[in-house]
Structure 1
């Protein structure tokens, strides 16, 4: 009986640790606050998560006089934390 309980607990702990959490949480139901369809950005892909941003830019940020487009607020926040890591050279 104790062995079955221990094995069950081990299986539950292994399975719960094996699940990965997503790095980027996208919210597609929210509409942008401003119309960004005419904004020219230097990137066709989101620099953080690499999603295509050419069709839909949720938000933008300026870094070294270049406008970067992002698919979500989360990606923009990640970019602002360390822009050198994601900036186009």
Structure 2
């Protein structure tokens, strides 16, 4: 029961973070490049080592960076990790609106 609840919570966090995308990025996501095996790939599949970022949680959606860092930004001499391009864009537009939780 606890395992199922944990899986459901992780799924909700991931879906909440991804729901912040806007329609202007939808076309870019559909134009993912074909790799040599003929499978679809996209930039969203790129992840960064969580040890390289200074924050514990994505400042926008509050997802723990241990769940995966898909984009980074420099802020006040630190490298911050974000779960998605959308979260990074929101943070960069108004960084004072978000609370940083550093390691």
The match for 1:47 is: 59
Higher helix proportion (structure 1 or 2): 2
**Does the 8 A contact of 1:26 with 1:72 survive in 2?**
no
**Distance in 2 separating the partners of 1:23 and 1:39:** 21
Q: Which runs of 5+ in 1 are unaligned?
A: 1-21
**TM-score, scaled relative to structure 2:** 0.51
> Does structure 1 residue 25 correspond to structure 2 residue 19?
yes
Change (3 A) 1:36 1:24: closer
Quote the residue 2:92 is aligned against: 80
The question of whether the paired residues in 2 share the 8 Å contact of 1:58 and 1:73 is answered with: yes
Report the TM-score when normalising by structure 1. 0.58
Runs of 4+ in 1 over 4 A off after TM superposition: none
Mean Cα deviation higher: 66-75 or 35-44: 35-44
Can you give the 5+ residue segments of structure 2 that lack an aligned partner in the other structure?
Answer: 1-15, 22-41
Q: How does 1:9-20 map to 2 (within 5 A)?
A: none
CA contact (8 A) 1:61 1:67 kept: yes
RMSD (Å), alpha carbons = 2.8
User: Who is 2:71 aligned against?
Assistant: 59
Aligned residues: 65
